[in-house]
Structure 1
Amino acid sequence: MIWHSIGRLEDGVMRHPVDGESWQKFDVDYPDFSSEPRNVCVGLAADGFNPFDNMCYLHSTWPIVLTTYNLPPWLCMKESSFMLALLIPSPKAPGMDIDVFLRPLVEELKFLWQSGIRIKDAATTTFFTMKAMLLSTINDFPARSSLSGWSGQGYRACPTCNEDTPSYRAVNKVVYIGHRRFLDADDPLRMSLKFNGQPETRPAPRHFTNEDIQEQLGRIILRKPGKHPNTLKENMDRQGFELNWSKRSIFFKLEYWSSLQLKHNIDLMHVEKNVGESLLGTSMMNDKSKDTSNAREDLKNLNIRRNQWLQKKGKKVVDNDTNIIGLKSHDYHILMQRLIPIGVRALLDKETSTPIVDLFMFFKKICSRTLKVEDTRKAKEDIIRILCKLELIYPLTFFNIMIHLVLHLPYEPNVGGSEYMRWMYPFERYMKKLKNYVRNKARPEGCIAEGYVAEEALTFCSMYLRDVNRLERNEDVVIEKTKFWMFESKC
């Protein structure tokens, strides 16, 4: 539990959240908490899943899982380090009203931060007051919107770019193009007319500090939670000065939350999956393709790429039945880093294949278990040019918000530590385990809670009896130890 204090190597390599700027700044801002290395830093993961094998039954169960970041990297993301802190039962996803269910957990976190709890250190056989804090959350993008309060839809969908999100209204949707804004002011690519027929003179989006966010949150109009007939229209009509804020997150009730540099992580797993799905679908012209008649109409409206203008009517420019179904996030992770680059080089010309392969190599670098600060800075420069090159190849509708979020992935390891400590892969596998607890389809949440508690109790019992000498055959000793454990558990 004190590995983060005594096991960290200050060699400029990021292996753990303690190597990130957010944790280090927190230690400086709150020295009373950081002076006790046994105080606990936790991460929170929330996501919904259907507990039934038959997807025809619409039901969304939301477990809230905590993981302990005090532990070394090889233990943080193990199932043995996960705690099922909350289980939200509902036929539908809680959405923006998730704060109602999170209130008991937040109250416990406030108590653990302010007062703490007196416990015994088994290693030194001494008592101390242990406190805890929430370092960040790990979610897919829709769940991130529900927890943070920043809506991931519309012209300002990017939570990092905030009100400076580069967006454009296409024929039937909002797309996120104009990544030349992120280039240096004197970069020659800014003057190119191939993108939209105009040079790019806008400055890069601003960096919004915690003080800026607090000022924006102070302008939000307070609304009742839930979907009530009298307040539904009121909740939907967001004022312009509110930007994309739908609420003030309940996590701001935590004293330290507003000072954290990285509150909500962008989940690389879901970004990688959506990017891979869009690339495969558009390249193979299947049902997931972004190259539609409306996409070609956008090019005509902008008067660019005349050779790609639509010549005949139809839903798709090319009708192809080739489709890939049943691929999961893990499959796209393997495809993008190993198999697709080989096929892209073989089938596409160099001008088209080079930025695609560079994008896959970017994901491979970011997914590394060890990252250097220099590598992330170089990756940030590379990904801007990669997205600019892709804007010259793919239709505008290809650039949804998930494509844009790739731009911010190199920034987060410097602040939050290595990426593999902040993605959803281990939590998705853990939710599969929770799903296997369901035996009674009428009470899925009850089955999950019962299975979790039973396994926790058996694990605790086995750990307690681990110190029994295996060579000792005296059954009375084992019985007495078991009775003592049962007495302690009741207390």
Structure 2
Amino acid sequence: MEMHETRILNDGIIDSGTRAPGKDIDVYLQPLINELKELWENGVRTFDIIDKEYFTMRAAILWTIHDFPAYGTVSGYSTQGYKACPVCEDDMSSFRIRGKTCFMGHRRYLCPNHQWRNDMEYDGTIERRSPPRILTADEILDKLKGVWKCRAGKNDKIIKDDKQQMKDACYENNTNWRRKSIFWELEYWPKLKLRHNLDVMHIEKNICDSVVGTIFSIDGKSKDTEKARLDLQDLNIRKQLHMKKKGNKWFKPVACYTLSAKERQEFCTLIKSVKFPDGYAANISRNVNMKDGKLFGLKSHDCDILLQRLLPIGLRPYLKKKVMDAIAELSLFFKKLCARTLYVKDLDELEKGVVLTLCKLDSIFPPAFFDVMIHLMVHLPLEAKLGGPVQMRWMYSIEREHRLFLQSQGILDINQVQKNEFSTWFENKIKKMNETISGKAQEDLYAIAMQPSFLACTYVSCMVNGVRYHTKSRDERLLTQNYGVHVEAEYDGNICDFYGVINEIWEVHYLYLNKVILFKCSWYNTNGSDRMYSEYNFTSININSEWFEDEPFVLANQVSLVFYLDDIKKSKDNKDWKVVQKLNHRHIWDIPSKPMDGEVDDEDPTINSSKAYQEESSNDIGMNFDSTTNDTNLIRGDLKI
């Protein structure tokens, strides 16, 4: 084999210079496969540092992770052409349009009697097909038996000889399989349900680029070109969007998904004003061209933030409800799919709901919009069910015992009595516990019960459980935002969301060198429908007044960090409206401690303490898929050409 500029780097990574390895990837992977075979069949003698003994360690590869082009390189399945989807394979829905291949036909995933199947405005046809069937490993192996085995190397003579041999043998390959991957040599590879992962981040970035490029009419990235309008004419669909002639010139009617120059600049102004918490996202304002009202140079994580957080908020004032519903569902789909905790029932809903979302997009955007990346969305929930983790969550409250005590005393106004008497009751209870050796309280619990020192330290910044918090006065001078907080608490018998900002950070000292971090906050008054509303699963609040001014303090570990964005839909009339954005920091996981031997958890018998708890699970994100489409107007009458 001839290797072009190939060398082994210090970290063991193979660098093939300016040329990708292509079909020769199996040559590079051969040493890895040999080791995987040994780990599976014979195992490796390994020393256990904990038990101080040797054991035979065996290991297996679960799946591969790569972007979509590398998917084809590693798997041996070509991710180009009419059958580019490696899941649908030969039953892929695709057809040729001007200059490219279109991947529509998502109505085939709907139930057989769905009304959208009979609507010819999607692609000019009535849909009668059933969803594609996923092939089994045996069926894939049968296909691979007929695939020509080419020799390794990129020498022109070798390639020419292989082509001539295939021609002489009258070889024909009607599938997208180009070779049998070396991974099939592993004994367990055919038994795996998920062999190669579709990279969600890569798919999300490509979809975001397509959406932003089309809505903002970015040259080179917009899918709404003159050819795209001629495609509509060729298919005889959506006549409102066909090219129109005015005098001697042809022009495109302004589509319902297009922003004007002024609207693009207003959206970019919002992006410029956004302040994210430290470590949450890059400074996306650097990717804004205010003069042209466009975005540029977006990285993968920028697209993740833009699609899931900013697009649905910033586009609400400008786009029609039909378009906004589809974009909001697209945003929530990725937000729910990327949650740290996934539940199968939620993924089942996503699997059905994403079909409705794709069908809505089919009815709005031109066929040129639908490349293979858009189609791959339909397979992501199934892959999440096969490879995603599921963990349980728990929560405790020390005040529950006191509430039960007050209820036993026949107290009616429990909240007020608890507010006034809890500290005294708690101190007496701990003192009484200390009177008996068997019930002796722990030092930290006793220290808290004995009241804090009269002296406290104040700060403008602190780290709590790996999250950075600032006071509002400090962040006013910075480009980031770390002062917004959210707390769930009881109000009028219901669990409510409280939003506020940190004014001061206190460190309060107790006995035995114990200390507690408190946030002194201002809480925004969100009591009433005129002070808070939700739209497209985003919550907006009015910040012009405060409440609970007599209860400003909260424990630092009880709050979660939020940040606020200007609500440009409301800000035209009132500058006091903000959109609340909850978040989870990357690389931060809340792992509960394991109970001591003999310790019994009587709070909730369904809790499994060996499971990790992550906030923002998939069932925390509300999402409703709507299958009604009443608005058939696809052009904007308020904009002139």
Query: Which residue, out of 150, 154, 177, partners 1:227?
Result: 154
Partner of residue 369, structure 1? 340
CA contact (8 A) 1:61 1:91 kept: no
1:177 aligns with 2:104: yes
Instruction: Sort the Cα spacing of 1:242 and 1:199 in 2 relative to 1 into closer, same or farther, 3 A.
Output: closer
How many Å apart are 1:125 and its aligned residue? Answer: 0.6
Q: With the length of structure 1 as denominator, give the TM-score of the two structures.
A: 0.65
Distance 1:365 1:338 in 2: 12
What per-residue deviation string (whole Å, max 9, x for no partner) do you get for residues 38-69 of structure 1?
xxxxxxxxxxxxxxxxxxxxx999999xxxxx
Distance 2:163 2:359 in 1: 37
- Give the counterpart letter for 1:368 in structure 2: A
Distance 1:122 1:281 in 2: 55
Partner of residue 324, structure 1? 295
Across the aligned residues of Structure 1 and Structure 2, the Cα RMSD in angstroms comes to 2.8
Instruction: Sort the Cα spacing of 1:418 and 1:402 in 2 relative to 1 into closer, same or farther, 3 A.
Output: farther
How many Å apart are 1:286 and its aligned residue? Answer: 0.7
Instruction: Sort the Cα spacing of 1:240 and 1:89 in 2 relative to 1 into closer, same or farther, 3 A.
Output: closer
1:413 aligns with 2:384: yes
Query: Which residue, out of 234, 239, 264, partners 1:301?
Result: 234
How many Å apart are 1:171 and its aligned residue? Answer: 0.8
- Give the counterpart letter for 2:142 in structure 1: E
Distance 1:339 1:100 in 2: 45
Distance 2:43 2:156 in 1: 42
What per-residue deviation string (whole Å, max 9, x for no partner) do you get for residues 347-403 of structure 1?
101011111111100100000010110000100111001111101111111100111
Mapping of 1:94-105 within 5 angstroms? Answer: 94-105=21-32
Of 86-95 and 342-351, more deviation after overlay is shown by 86-95
Instruction: Sort the Cα spacing of 1:204 and 1:119 in 2 relative to 1 into closer, same or farther, 3 A.
Output: same
1:395 aligns with 2:328: no
1:213 aligns with 2:140: yes
CA contact (8 A) 1:62 1:93 kept: no
What per-residue deviation string (whole Å, max 9, x for no partner) do you get for residues 409-441 of structure 1?
111111112499xxxxxxxxxxxxxxxxxxxxx
Partner of residue 190, structure 2? 258
1:338 aligns with 2:270: no
Partner of residue 78, structure 2? 151
Q: Unaligned regions of 5+ residues in structure 2, if any? A: 255-259, 262-291, 392-641
Distance 1:316 1:419 in 2: 49
Instruction: Sort the Cα spacing of 1:210 and 1:305 in 2 relative to 1 into closer, same or farther, 3 A.
Output: same
- Give the counterpart letter for 2:342 in structure 1: L
Distance 1:286 1:240 in 2: 42
How many Å apart are 1:280 and its aligned residue? Answer: 0.2
Instruction: Sort the Cα spacing of 1:165 and 1:240 in 2 relative to 1 into closer, same or farther, 3 A.
Output: farther
CA contact (8 A) 1:182 1:203 kept: yes
What per-residue deviation string (whole Å, max 9, x for no partner) do you get for residues 273-329 of structure 1?
000010000001112101111111111110011111123678988898554222100
Query: Which residue, out of 177, 180, 192, partners 1:245?
Result: 177
Query: Which residue, out of 194, 204, 227, partners 2:131?
Result: 204
Partner of residue 320, structure 2? 349
Of 335-344 and 357-366, more deviation after overlay is shown by 335-344
How many Å apart are 1:141 and its aligned residue? Answer: 0.1
Partner of residue 429, structure 1? none
Q: With the length of structure 2 as denominator, give the TM-score of the two structures.
A: 0.51
Q: Which has the greater radius of gyration?
A: 2
Partner of residue 276, structure 1? 208
Q: Unaligned regions of 5+ residues in structure 1, if any? A: 1-58, 65-83, 421-491
CA contact (8 A) 1:362 1:383 kept: yes
Distance 2:22 2:216 in 1: 34
Q: SS at the partner of 1:118? A: strand
- Give the counterpart letter for 2:39 in structure 1: L
Distance 2:216 2:36 in 1: 49
Aligned length in residues:
343
Distance 2:305 2:7 in 1: 28
- Give the counterpart letter for 1:267 in structure 2: D
CA contact (8 A) 1:116 1:131 kept: yes
Instruction: Sort the Cα spacing of 1:148 and 1:418 in 2 relative to 1 into closer, same or farther, 3 A.
Output: same
How many Å apart are 1:197 and its aligned residue? Answer: 2.8
User: Which structure dedicates a bigger proportion of its chain to helix?
Assistant: 1
Q: SS at the partner of 2:63? A: strand
1:378 aligns with 2:349: yes
How many Å apart are 1:241 and its aligned residue? Answer: 4.0
CA contact (8 A) 1:291 1:316 kept: no
How many Å apart are 1:112 and its aligned residue? Answer: 1.5
Instruction: Sort the Cα spacing of 1:100 and 1:344 in 2 relative to 1 into closer, same or farther, 3 A.
Output: same
How many Å apart are 1:88 and its aligned residue? Answer: 3.3
CA contact (8 A) 1:269 1:329 kept: yes
What per-residue deviation string (whole Å, max 9, x for no partner) do you get for residues 7-51 of structure 1?
xxxxxxxxxxxxxxxxxxxxxxxxxxxxxxxxxxxxxxxxxxxxx
CA contact (8 A) 2:123 2:235 kept: yes
Mapping of 1:442-481 within 5 angstroms? Answer: none
How many Å apart are 1:341 and its aligned residue? Answer: 0.6
CA contact (8 A) 2:82 2:95 kept: yes
Partner of residue 223, structure 2? 290
CA contact (8 A) 1:112 1:132 kept: yes
1:124 aligns with 2:57: no
Distance 1:229 1:198 in 2: 45
Instruction: Sort the Cα spacing of 1:167 and 1:315 in 2 relative to 1 into closer, same or farther, 3 A.
Output: farther
Q: SS at the partner of 1:132? A: coil
Distance 1:279 1:60 in 2: 39
CA contact (8 A) 2:229 2:252 kept: no
CA contact (8 A) 1:292 1:315 kept: no
Query: Which residue, out of 35, 40, 49, partners 1:108?
Result: 35
Asked which structure has the greater RCO (Cα within 8 Å, sep 6+), the reply is: 1
Q: SS at the partner of 1:135? A: coil
- Give the counterpart letter for 2:123 in structure 1: N
Distance 2:307 2:319 in 1: 16
Instruction: Sort the Cα spacing of 1:297 and 1:231 in 2 relative to 1 into closer, same or farther, 3 A.
Output: farther
CA contact (8 A) 1:286 1:322 kept: no
